[in-house]
Amino acid sequence: RSMEIMIWIGAALTVLGLLGLVLCIGIVLKKRRANLPEAEMRATLQKVVALNMAALAVSGIGLMLVLVGVILA
């Protein structure tokens, strides 16, 4: 039972991370269409890179939880 919970929590974290990645893509596309000055675009991209790395980390942790849950089940 506890491994099943771990798998579901991992799946939820993975989906959350993927939603974060989609959010990053949306932000960048919106800013690119706005034709911002280069300095402002760089600042935006630096913020998005941090969000992107966090989303990848959350997704990776979720996948690890799923893998451990499946192996130990």
Q: Which long-range contacts (CB under 8 A, 24 or more apart) does 31-36 make?
A: none
What number is the average pLDDT over the span 14-33?
A: 95
Do residues 20 and 54 make contact, with C-beta atoms less than 8 angstroms apart?
yes
Model-level pTM?
Answer: 0.85
Residue with tokens 């849950």: 69
Which of the four pLDDT bands, split at 50, 70 and 90, describes residue 16?
very high
Query: 2 pLDDT exceeds 90?
Result: no
Which residues, 6+ apart, have CB-to-CB distance to 59 below 8 Å?
13, 14, 16, 17, 18, 20, 21
The per-residue pLDDT for range 33-62, each reduced to its tens digit, is 998 899 999 999 999 999 999 999 999 999
pLDDT at 7 over 90: yes
Give the mean model confidence (pLDDT) for residues 6-30.
Answer: 96
